[in-house]
Amino acid sequence: MMLSAEQSRAVEAAFEAAQARTRAPLVGVLAAASSDHAFMPVLWSGLLALATPWPLLIFTRLSAERIFLTQLLVCLVAMAVLSLPRVRVLLISRRARRAHAHRAALVQYSVRGIDRAPDRAGVLVYVSLAERYARVIADEGACRVVSAAQWQSVVDELVAELGGGQTARAMTNAAARCADLLAHDFPANPGAAMPRGQRFHVV
């Protein structure tokens, strides 16, 4: 479930609060979908339209004009139904959906400049709702002091809360958990400015 404006502000405040505890850049990104999969409705509606005339030719005595109109109607209806966001994403295999989401997470990691952070300690919390995908990407500096199992624990808790429809709570808690893991080795510098940039993005 996407966030309301009020929920977005609350999550952004949570990321700001988490960032205040560590000098390691911490960024959250919430995506409605990692890809629009726009070609899939076109592909499947075209295939259905191509298959439509054969049973009509075999089992009916419809004229060519009526078969053509039926074929056109099937194509248009299929296109409308399959273009619905919730339906469209189901046309992609689970493996392909995860691959799309993973690539989108890596793009956000680079776009937000996390790979250029001091100490190589930046962390991205990425969630794509359509693909039901969550990932924490930590740079090598952060991975040296926090184990893969600890990062996976953050992801597991994030996924569990997302599964309950608690998107705002899931993102808020993930920010706090990441700060918990980073604050000991990368504490905030008193008097120093926090890493620049917005901490939470909805894309």
Q: How far apart are CA 106 and CA 108, in angstroms?
A: 5
Q: How far apart are CA 139 and CA 64, in angstroms?
A: 62
For residue 192, what are the domain limits?
5-36+93-202
Residues 82 and 162 in one domain: no
Count of domains for the chain? 2
Tens of pLDDT along the chain (203 residues) come to: 689 999 999 999 999 999 999 999 999 999 988 876 667 788 888 899 999 999 998 888 889 899 999 999 999 999 898 888 778 777 777 788 888 899 999 999 999 989 888 889 999 999 999 888 999 999 999 999 999 999 999 999 999 999 888 999 999 999 999 999 999 999 987 755 555 678 999 98
Residues 134 and 192 in one domain: yes
Residues 49 and 148 in one domain: no
Domain boundary among 57, 72, 91: 91
Residues 61 and 150 in one domain: no
Backbone region of residue 37 per phi and psi (left: phi > 0; alpha: psi in -120 to 50; beta: other values)? left
Axis crossing angle, helix 167-183 with helix 148-163, rounded to the nearest 10: 160
Specify whether the CB–CB gap between 15 and 200 falls below 8 A. yes
Residues 44 and 55 in one domain: yes
Residues 44 and 84 in one domain: yes
Reported pTM: 0.76
The token duo for 172 is 């808020």
Residues 17 and 116 in one domain: yes
Backbone region of residue 48 per phi and psi (left: phi > 0; alpha: psi in -120 to 50; beta: other values)? alpha
Residues 194 and 116 in one domain: yes
Nearest to 146 by CA among 173, 118, 183: 183
Q: 100-124 burial string, b = 16+ CB within 10 Å, else e? A: bbbebbeebbeebebeebebbbbbb
Residues 112 and 26 in one domain: yes
Nearest to 127 by CA among 90, 169, 96, 87: 169
Residues 161 and 69 in one domain: no
Residues 86 and 112 in one domain: no
